[in-house]
């Protein structure tokens, strides 16, 4: 199992631990330690504490540099979306981390392995273990591979109200007039499509499509935001 | 003024900025930018966003390594005490940062320079600016000079209930018997002194003194905690 996990980390993420005991600690729950007394095992919580701060900095640094015009409020909201239990547990599953957690029998029976809160902890403790073993660089590389592409895939969009953000951004230097215009509406009743544009002071800044007018407006606002922040 | 500040940073903290504009940005409030339109000035908020995460990692890394036996819960409480508006504003004053903030006239009149919340922001944005200019190392060095010695000086003690913590620590591996014993009590009524020891399973682990029995017990517990965590 350990060998299988080592191979997975090396093959998928080019990560090879110098100190395997850090990886063991990061993937061991207290329930497992309690079932193996006298072995002097450690569980993941302290490493998770550190991993939490490491991940937060890596994300902050990335979005700070990537969006040079994004104001603090929106940076903070974006970070909160990326540092979030729901996101973490998905990442952990995607990386197959759930398979390698060491649990006590009771926790195994209680399906702890599928529990979002545990997967969230394990994701953070993995980050902490990589940092302790090899410093920041491989953590940053891991995030570039697993996390940051999700920004472009719209993974964190559900956390945002693009229309409100566009208003904040566009009005940063004074009042402006933002309007949404229905450009097109077609398709049968059960698969209706809407196309909407957004203008700021009568200049078109974005176009969006969707199955509802609301979705199409959010899409248009999202496209317009890009023009203000990239 | 700028020259004076550069000299202060170099003399007191051995920090010399490569990119002075980062330092300017970190010490400029929005009110100042608004009063100087067309100069394309930036205010500190984005750098503060980053500095917040940098400082949190530096503190987390330090206390993780310094207290190798401290459980996650106590690490988290200690970090919260060290990442705290009250602490930040005191640090900023101690470093004389308040003197070099660029404020608009209205904010100056409203005594913003003495406002804890602003000093807190500026402390974080300073950290962010050093990190952007020179990376982690000088931030860590700065914290070793300004922040970490305060741990030994008891600066963060007010955030802790040492007796509760001692109980948590001592009982981590099973139930134990913790007792406090009054060893001595002397001095006049208006300057009474108490001396108390604490035993864990009848072994003395710490002694404390104070103007009340409660304070003396907290001191004894604090001394005992050291034995468990260092």
Q: Write down the ipTM of this complex.
A: 0.80
Mean pLDDT of the B110-130 span: 95
**Interface contact flag, A60 B76, Cβ < 8 Å:** no
Q: How many CB pairs under 8 A join A and B?
A: 58
| Residues of chain A neighbouring B64 (CB-CB closer than 8 A) | 46, 49-50
Q: Does A64 touch chain B (CB under 8 A)?
A: yes
Per-residue pLDDT tens for A74-108?
899 889 888 888 888 999 999 999 999 999 999 99
Per-chain mean pLDDT for chain A: 91
Q: How far B56 CA sits from the closest chain A CA (Å)?
A: 6
Of A46, A70, A71, the CB nearest to B64: A46
Per-chain mean pLDDT for chain B: 91
| CA atoms of A225 and B31, how far apart (whole Å) | 25
Mean pLDDT of the A29-58 span: 94
More confident residue, A148 or A169: A148
**Interface contact flag, A75 B48, Cβ < 8 Å:** no
Coil, strand or helix at A164: helix
Give the pLDDT score at B224.
92
What percent of chain B stands above pLDDT 70? 98
pLDDT band for B140, please (50, 70, 90 cuts): very high
Q: Is B48 annotated as a binding residue?
A: yes
Give the pLDDT score at A39.
87
Mean pLDDT of the A137-151 span: 95
**Interface contact flag, A72 B136, Cβ < 8 Å:** no
Give the pLDDT score at A1.
63
Mean pLDDT of the B29-58 span: 94
Q: How far B229 CA sits from the closest chain A CA (Å)?
A: 13
Say what angle helices B116-134 and B136-146 make with each other, to 10 degrees: 140
What percent of chain B stands above pLDDT 90? 65
Give the pLDDT score at B1.
64
Q: Minimal Cα distance from A56: which residue of B?
A: B53
Q: Which of B6, B14, B24, B52 is catalytic?
A: B52
| CA atoms of B180 and B168, how far apart (whole Å) | 16
Mean pLDDT of the B160-175 span: 81
Q: Minimal Cα distance from B50: which residue of A?
A: A60
Per-residue pLDDT tens for A174-203?
789 999 999 999 988 888 899 999 999 999
Of B56, B59, B136, the CB nearest to A56: B56
Q: Does A192 touch chain B (CB under 8 A)?
A: no
Cβ atoms of A149 and A66 closer than 8 Å? no
Q: Does A45 touch chain B (CB under 8 A)?
A: yes
Q: Does residue A52 have an active-site annotation?
A: yes
Of the residues A41, A69, A72, the best mutation for testing chain B's interface (the one with the most B CB atoms within 10 Å of its CB) is A72
Q: Does residue A202 have an active-site annotation?
A: no
Q: Does B76 touch chain A (CB under 8 A)?
A: yes
Give the pLDDT score at B77.
86
pLDDT band for A64, please (50, 70, 90 cuts): very high
| CA atoms of B131 and B51, how far apart (whole Å) | 8
Coil, strand or helix at B155: coil
Domain map (residue ranges) of chain B: 2-158, 161-229
Q: Minimal Cα distance from A37: which residue of B?
A: B173
Mean pLDDT of the A138-148 span: 96
Coil, strand or helix at B47: helix
Could you please report the per-residue DSSP string of A15-30? ---S-HHHHHHHTB-H
Give the pLDDT score at B86.
81
Check if CATH label 3.30.160.20 holds for domain B161-229.
yes
Beta bridge partners of B196: B182, B208
Beta bridge partners of A185: A194
Q: Does B190 touch chain A (CB under 8 A)?
A: no
Q: Which of A98, A124, A133, A165 is catalytic?
A: A124
Q: Does A168 touch chain B (CB under 8 A)?
A: no
The burial class, CB within 10 Å (0-12 / 13-18 / 19+), for B207 is middle
Give the pLDDT score at A211.
87
Q: Would you tell me how many other CB atoms lie within 10 Å of the CB of residue A203?
A: 9
Per-residue pLDDT tens for A100-127?
999 999 999 999 999 999 999 999 999 9
What percent of chain A stands above pLDDT 90? 65
pLDDT band for A73, please (50, 70, 90 cuts): confident
Per-residue pLDDT tens for B65-84?
998 888 898 899 889 888 88
More confident residue, B161 or B52: B52
- The fold of the A2-158 domain, in CATH, is Ribonuclease iii, N-terminal Endonuclease Domain; Chain A (1.10.1520)
Give the pLDDT score at A230.
72
Give the pLDDT score at A159.
64
């Amino acid at each position: 199992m350990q060998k299988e996990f080592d191979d997975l980390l090396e093959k998928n993420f080019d990560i090879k631990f110098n100190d395997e005991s850090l990886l063991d600690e990061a993937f061991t729950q207290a329930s497992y330690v309690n079932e193996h007394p006298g072995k002097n095992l450690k569980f993941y919580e302290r490493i998770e504490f550190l991993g939490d701060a490491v991940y937060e900095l890596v994300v902050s640094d990335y979005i700070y540099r990537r969006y040079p015009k994004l104001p603090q409020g929106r940076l903070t909201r974006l970070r909160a979306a990326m540092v979030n239990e729901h996101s973490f547990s998905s990442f952990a599953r995607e990386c197959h981390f759930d398979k390698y957690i060491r649990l006590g029998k009771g926790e195994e029976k209680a399906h702890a392995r599928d529990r979002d809160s545990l997967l969230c902890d394990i994701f953070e403790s993995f980050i902490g273990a990589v940092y302790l073993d090899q410093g920041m660089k491989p953590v940053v590389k891991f995030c570039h591979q697993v996390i940051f592409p999700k920004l472009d895939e719209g993974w964190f969009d559900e956390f945002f109200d693009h229309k409100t953000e566009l208003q904040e951004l566009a009005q940063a230097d004074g009042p402006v007039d933002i309007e949404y215009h229905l450009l097109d509406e077609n398709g049968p009743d059960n698969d209706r499509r809407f196309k909407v544009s957004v203008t700021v002071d009568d200049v078109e800044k974005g176009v969006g499509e969707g199955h509802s007018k609301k979705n199409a407006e959010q899409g248009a606002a999202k496209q317009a935001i890009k023009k203000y922040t990239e």
